[in-house]
């Protein structure tokens, strides 16, 4: 009887491992989750972080049989990974949106700092002039 119970537990674990929920209506990934995985990793492995809690990351994948990458991701992030299947077409759209968003943020930050540079240079020049007047 003990043998049957142990065997049943193994079967339940196997069924649970094979069952990965499917997420059908994901459209965007919040910025705070986009920063967890670098964009080249998301593009190569077709995966994105969709949510997070204190010790678990919810990661959307296209492939069901990507166990090694899940383990690697778990080791790298130091959190457990809760995998969710996402349709390939939807994943391509999500990654394209992330790429566009990051490109826009990069351009915006460069433009912002370019605008700030003359003001910072003026302040530095004023401080240098004051130093020269004092010394």
Paired tokens of 31:
């910025």
pLDDT at 25 over 90: no
CA dihedral 40, 65, 61, 78 (to 10 degrees): -70
Cα 15 to the center of its chain, rounded Å: 28
Average pLDDT of the chain to the nearest whole number: 76
Across 12-101, the runs of DSSP E, i.e. the strands, are 47-52, 56-61, 80-85
pLDDT in tens, 69-102: 888 888 888 889 999 999 999 999 999 999 998 8
Contacts of 115 (CB under 8 A, 6+ apart): none
Top pLDDT among 7 and 113 is at 113
Integer Cα distance of 86 and 11 in angstroms? 26
pLDDT band at residue 3 using 50, 70 and 90 as cut-offs: very low
Say if residue 15's pLDDT is above 60. no
- Model confidence at 56, pLDDT cuts 50, 70, 90, reads very high
Q: Which residue has the tokens 């965007």?
A: 28
Find residue 80's DSSP bridge partners: 56
Name the 3-class secondary structure at 109.
Answer: helix
CA–CA separation, 39 and 116 (whole Å): 28
Q: What is the pTM of this model?
A: 0.64
pLDDT band of 127, cuts 50, 70, 90: low
Domains and CATH numbers, the chain: 20-134 (3.30.300.160)
């Amino acid at each position: 009887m003990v043998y049957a119970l142990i065997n049943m537990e193994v079967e339940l674990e196997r069924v649970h491992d094979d069952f990965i929920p499917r997420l059908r209506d994901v459209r965007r990934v919040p910025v705070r989750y986009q920063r967890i995985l670098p964009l080249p990793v998301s593009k190569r492995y077709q995966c994105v972080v969709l949510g997070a809690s204190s010790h678990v990351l919810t990661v959307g994948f296209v492939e069901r049989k990507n166990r090694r990458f899940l383990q690697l991701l778990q080791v790298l992030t130091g959190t457990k990974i809760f995998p969710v299947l996402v349709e390939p077409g939807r994943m391509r759209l999500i990654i394209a949106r992330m790429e566009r968003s990051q490109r826009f943020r990069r351009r915006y930050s460069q433009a912002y700092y370019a605008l700030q540079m003359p003001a910072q240079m003026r302040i530095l020049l004023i401080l240098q002039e004051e130093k020269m007047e004092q010394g």
